[in-house]
A and B are shown apart, each in its own frame.
Chain A
Amino acid sequence: MTTTYARTIPTLALAAVLAACSGGTSQPSNTPAPAGAGPRIVQPGAPGQAGRTFSADELEQVEGVSYTDADVRFMQGMIPHHRQALEMTALVRQHATTAAVRQMALRMEISQRDEIAMMSTWLRERGESVEMSVMGMAHHRMMGMLTPEQMETLASARGVEFDRLFLEGMIQHHEGALDMVTTLFNTSGAAQESTVFKFAEEVDADQLMEIERMQALLEQIGR
């Protein structure tokens, strides 16, 4: 899918001016910017170390660290994970008897829908598939997702029994998401892309809180 924004900044023209004025080699850090060369781009060093300036043809390097395959797998994997959560919360609309469970499920629905949209946009923007590979799916089963049998049992449960199964299932499901975040952060080079980092941290904080809340609800309705 293509997007419909337009950008009117003469980026290339500016880069061309820089290239014409400052040449192609990296300059020592204490060289003042030549007159008319445009704004300086400086990269300081570690404390006590000298910095450096960027020359025009190094500009593209400024972009820096990008995303990794692990980031893509994380995003691709979290989409079906979230989708199953939406299947579970849809059942809550029909069957839940406890007000607090209904409220919690509605809140989850809102945030998980928004996050699915965000993840899909992130993947599409980078030309990555929104769907994960079949092998990935197989691995994904282990990440806390409910089995088809568990989903069937949940769908046919009624009354407080439904509420109990929903809470237990969603706790399992959320713990899987926390595992996915931990795996991501333990993978060298992963989670350094800013959007992935922020999203993984949000999943961590939100779902941990929801697990605690669901555990408290389970206590209250009686296991």
Chain B
Amino acid sequence: MKDMGNKITGAFWLLAATALVVGTVAAPEGLKGQQQEEQVPPAAPALEWDPNDPRIGLGAGWMDAESAISGMELLAAIPRPDGFFNPSTPADGRFSNTDLAFQDDMLIQGNYNGFQIFDISNPADPTLAVSVVCPGGQGDVSVYGDLIVMSAQETRGRLDCGIEGVADSISAERMRGVRIFDMSDMNNPTQVAAVQSCRGSHTHTIVTDPADSENVYVYIQGTSRVRPGDELAGCSGGGPEDPNTALFRIEVVKVPLANPGAAEIVNMPRIFADEEGNLAGLWQGGTHGPGTQSSRMTNQCHDITAYPGIGLAGGACSGNGILLDITNPESPTRVAEVADPNFAYWHSATFNNDGDVVIFTDEWGGGSAPRCRATDPATWGANAIFRIGDDNQMELAGYYKLPVPQTDTENCVAHNGSIIPVPGRDIMAQAWYQGGVSLMDFTDPANPFEIAFFDRGPLSIESLFTGGYWSVYWFNGRLYGAEISRGIDVFRLTPSEHLSAAEIAAAEAVMMNEFNAQLQPKVEWAPTRDVAQAYLDQMTRANRILNDRASEIQSALDANAGAMTLNNLAAEIEADVVQIESGELGGDAERMAKLAAVLRGMAAQQ
């Protein structure tokens, strides 16, 4: 795929040329404490791609578009069910599919009109179990035990899940916030709580407290207009000088699991405040200097991903990426923040499994605009990858953007994804709207690259209809894509030069009872032959292991060697590690140590 001698480079973007005009205007005040440089920053780099990429020139269509695939296999494509689409157009925003959540054999598909539950006991044949009508958008969903949480932000949302909208501009019937449903009887879901909030809920995040099994928390991320105080008492859309403003905060809902109907907002933390107590303590909005992107003011979080296993959450908060300490989930506190001159709108966050790298996505253009064209910069509307230091401070390592141009009738920009648990590597599957699905290896955060993809042609070559993948998530061995207008797609990975059969098998063996992308689980791999083979494959692929040692390990794995052989081999590898660390031997000390541990684990299980 990567043929550097045969790459096409997008035309320099318009702004690149204008950046040459002598700047006479100083940049606006940015992040507090961050010095604005006088020099003109280099223009954002142009996109590069392989001119033979099969994703170029795909035929258009709603359910019959051409497609291209690499490193994966499409197992199922399930259109949206009756009541959740408009047969006359793919682009009726009232029925857009949105986010996904998983539990056991259930896939929960959010939709602007409600949600659906599919039985995925056979992932290659998802079957619709129940459709739940409850409009309000975005309809992002999470699941926890018997509870399903759903975001509602639109002015049409009703307390009673009615479809008729709300007639009055101020009304007690309106519901904007998070709904909580009890699904213990799957045939008869009941709404047990409707927690109203001033800006509604664009997204939300379930946060667990490892020390408290009786409650869970839901963070509400509101991004919409603040509604009038006449409709919901206490709501104010004032500026940062207004101590009651509903801007510059998130809401924390406490959900008592024994009585979820008593769920209520217990905190509205001012997570953007500075030390002087200014509520608007972060990015003020505007460009970062000549030639740079204009970033939205930080008065909201678009999305937060909690990772209780490391005590942190990543907040993608309009003008900044932030880290929150969530060891006390009721009271998250900001511990770090970054701004970026290429980011228009900080959209979502995903950690690697070790928790020492975080990916933020930039939803330049809001998701309904074509931002993957040949002329769009390679670092705009992209992922930015940051290393997290021991002090929790973030350091930019690299960018990743869908490495193939899309047409101007395809809305495309970085969107939601999740980690594929391949041991020894950091890989994320990600949705790019009509740009399709792209799997990114970011094991080296400074050099991310694509290892697999799926893409369909545009919905139309005449008009831009908002569509494509909202989310692509890994759950129990398969990838599930939520397509806004085409339904649910299921994929499995196939071996390629970038990914071996053992690496795939090791990832497929990781099982979870429940998965919400915004509540990131920590994966631990059982010591198996596939995991050992995966580490060996990685070192062989990178030429970072001596041939003799590799052959010896391969023979032992192929022969299903006994405990004594495995332990002896592990001891030899551990000796290698010592030599590598002292510089006497070349190689990959970290993977060798992991491999030795797996071999010992395999021996112990015999």
Alpha-carbon gap, A102 to B25, bound state (A): 12
Is A43 a contact partner of B134 (Cβ separation < 8 A)? Answer: yes
Is B83 a contact partner of A192 (Cβ separation < 8 A)? Answer: no
- When A45-B160, A111-B369, A121-B463 are in contact, do A9 and B290 touch as well, CB less than 8 Å? no
- When A4-B460, A46-B161 are in contact, do A121 and B465 touch as well, CB less than 8 Å? yes
Give the contacting residue for A41; candidates B83, B93, B160, B459; CB below 8 A: B83
Is A187 a contact partner of B83 (Cβ separation < 8 A)? Answer: no
Is B366 a contact partner of A47 (Cβ separation < 8 A)? Answer: no
- The residues of A that contact B21 with a CB separation of less than 8 Å are 99, 102
Q: Which of B82, B90, B114 has the most CB of A within 10 A?
A: B82
User: Is B550 in the interface zone, CB < 8 Å from A?
Assistant: no
- The residues of B that contact A39 with a CB separation of less than 8 Å are 81, 128-131
User: Is B86 in the interface zone, CB < 8 Å from A?
Assistant: yes
A 61-89 contacts with B by CB, 8 A:
61-65
Interface of B, secondary structure class, is loop
Is B64 a contact partner of A192 (Cβ separation < 8 A)? Answer: no
| B133-147 Cβ-contact flags toward A at 8 Å (1 or 0) | 111010000000000
Give the contacting residue for B464; candidates A1, A29, A40, A118; CB below 8 A: A118
Is B82 a contact partner of A11 (Cβ separation < 8 A)? Answer: yes
| A18-48 Cβ-contact flags toward B at 8 Å (1 or 0) | 1000000000011011000001111111111
User: Is A158 in the interface zone, CB < 8 Å from B?
Assistant: no
A107: nearest chain-B partner, CB-CB: B294
User: Is B165 in the interface zone, CB < 8 Å from A?
Assistant: yes
CB distance from A185 to the nearest CB of B (A): 7
Is B60 a contact partner of A5 (Cβ separation < 8 A)? Answer: yes
User: Is B512 in the interface zone, CB < 8 Å from A?
Assistant: no
Is A198 a contact partner of B368 (Cβ separation < 8 A)? Answer: yes
Alpha-carbon gap, A189 to B192, bound state (A): 27
Is B297 a contact partner of A209 (Cβ separation < 8 A)? Answer: yes
Is B94 a contact partner of A194 (Cβ separation < 8 A)? Answer: yes
User: Is A137 in the interface zone, CB < 8 Å from B?
Assistant: no
Is B83 a contact partner of A62 (Cβ separation < 8 A)? Answer: yes
Is B90 a contact partner of A5 (Cβ separation < 8 A)? Answer: yes
- When A43-B132, A59-B83, A114-B370 are in contact, do A5 and B460 touch as well, CB less than 8 Å? yes
Give the contacting residue for B25; candidates A6, A42, A47, A100; CB below 8 A: A100
- The residues of A that contact B464 with a CB separation of less than 8 Å are 114, 117-118, 121
| B147-179 Cβ-contact flags toward A at 8 Å (1 or 0) | 000000011100111111111110000000000
CB distance from B19 to the nearest CB of A (A): 7
- When A9-B79, A217-B25 are in contact, do A100 and B60 touch as well, CB less than 8 Å? no
B 161-211 contacts with A by CB, 8 A:
161-169, 181, 187-194
A 117-153 contacts with B by CB, 8 A:
117-118, 121, 124-125
| B383-394 Cβ-contact flags toward A at 8 Å (1 or 0) | 000000000000
- The residues of B that contact A191 with a CB separation of less than 8 Å are 155
Is A220 a contact partner of B163 (Cβ separation < 8 A)? Answer: no
Is B287 a contact partner of A100 (Cβ separation < 8 A)? Answer: yes
User: Is A54 in the interface zone, CB < 8 Å from B?
Assistant: yes
CB distance from B193 to the nearest CB of A (A): 6
Is B224 a contact partner of A49 (Cβ separation < 8 A)? Answer: no
Is B188 a contact partner of A30 (Cβ separation < 8 A)? Answer: yes
- The residues of A that contact B62 with a CB separation of less than 8 Å are 5-7
- When A192-B156, A197-B154 are in contact, do A220 and B26 touch as well, CB less than 8 Å? yes
Give the contacting residue for B89; candidates A1, A9, A125; CB below 8 A: A125
- The residues of A that contact B368 with a CB separation of less than 8 Å are 118, 198
Is B25 a contact partner of A64 (Cβ separation < 8 A)? Answer: no
User: Is B248 in the interface zone, CB < 8 Å from A?
Assistant: no
CB distance from A223 to the nearest CB of B (A): 14
User: Is B23 in the interface zone, CB < 8 Å from A?
Assistant: yes
B467: nearest chain-A partner, CB-CB: A5
- When A188-B167, A201-B224 are in contact, do A44 and B18 touch as well, CB less than 8 Å? no
User: Is A172 in the interface zone, CB < 8 Å from B?
Assistant: no
B83: nearest chain-A partner, CB-CB: A62
Alpha-carbon gap, A8 to B77, bound state (A): 12
The number of residues on chain A lying at the interface, defined by a beta carbon within 8 Å of a beta carbon of chain B, is: 75
User: Is B285 in the interface zone, CB < 8 Å from A?
Assistant: yes
A 169-223 contacts with B by CB, 8 A:
185-195, 197-198, 201-202, 204-205, 209, 212-213, 216-217, 220-221
Is A185 a contact partner of B26 (Cβ separation < 8 A)? Answer: no
The number of residues on chain B lying at the interface, defined by a beta carbon within 8 Å of a beta carbon of chain A, is: 90
Is A63 a contact partner of B94 (Cβ separation < 8 A)? Answer: yes
Is B160 a contact partner of A42 (Cβ separation < 8 A)? Answer: no
Is B290 a contact partner of A29 (Cβ separation < 8 A)? Answer: no
- When A100-B25, A185-B225 are in contact, do A213 and B294 touch as well, CB less than 8 Å? yes
Alpha-carbon gap, A64 to B188, bound state (A): 21
- The residues of B that contact A6 with a CB separation of less than 8 Å are 61-64
Give the contacting residue for B167; candidates A30, A33, A189; CB below 8 A: A189
B29: nearest chain-A partner, CB-CB: A216
Q: Which of B133, B156, B161 has the most CB of A within 10 A?
A: B133
Q: Which of B81, B287, B462, B463 has the most CB of A within 10 A?
A: B463
CB distance from B295 to the nearest CB of A (A): 9
- The residues of B that contact A187 with a CB separation of less than 8 Å are 169
Is A64 a contact partner of B160 (Cβ separation < 8 A)? Answer: no
Is B191 a contact partner of A47 (Cβ separation < 8 A)? Answer: yes
User: Is B52 in the interface zone, CB < 8 Å from A?
Assistant: no
Q: Which of B61, B87, B181, B190 has the most CB of A within 10 A?
A: B190
User: Is B281 in the interface zone, CB < 8 Å from A?
Assistant: no
- When A49-B160, A100-B23, A102-B18 are in contact, do A42 and B61 touch as well, CB less than 8 Å? no
User: Is B296 in the interface zone, CB < 8 Å from A?
Assistant: yes
Is B296 a contact partner of A40 (Cβ separation < 8 A)? Answer: no
User: Is B446 in the interface zone, CB < 8 Å from A?
Assistant: no
Give the contacting residue for A44; candidates B90, B191, B369, B463; CB below 8 A: B191
- The residues of B that contact A156 with a CB separation of less than 8 Å are none
A-B complex: 5 closest residue pairs judged by Cβ atoms: A64-B163, A65-B165, A194-B93, A5-B62, A192-B156
The 26 listed contacts between A and B (C-beta, < 8 Å) are: A5-B61, A5-B63, A32-B187, A39-B81, A39-B128, A39-B130, A40-B129, A42-B133, A44-B189, A45-B160, A45-B190, A46-B191, A62-B83, A64-B135, A65-B163, A103-B15, A111-B369, A121-B91, A125-B89, A192-B165, A195-B92, A197-B137, A198-B93, A198-B366, A198-B368, A213-B286
Q: A7-B90, A40-B129 known; 5 other A-B pairs, CB under 8 Å? A: A107-B294, A114-B464, A190-B169, A193-B156, A194-B112
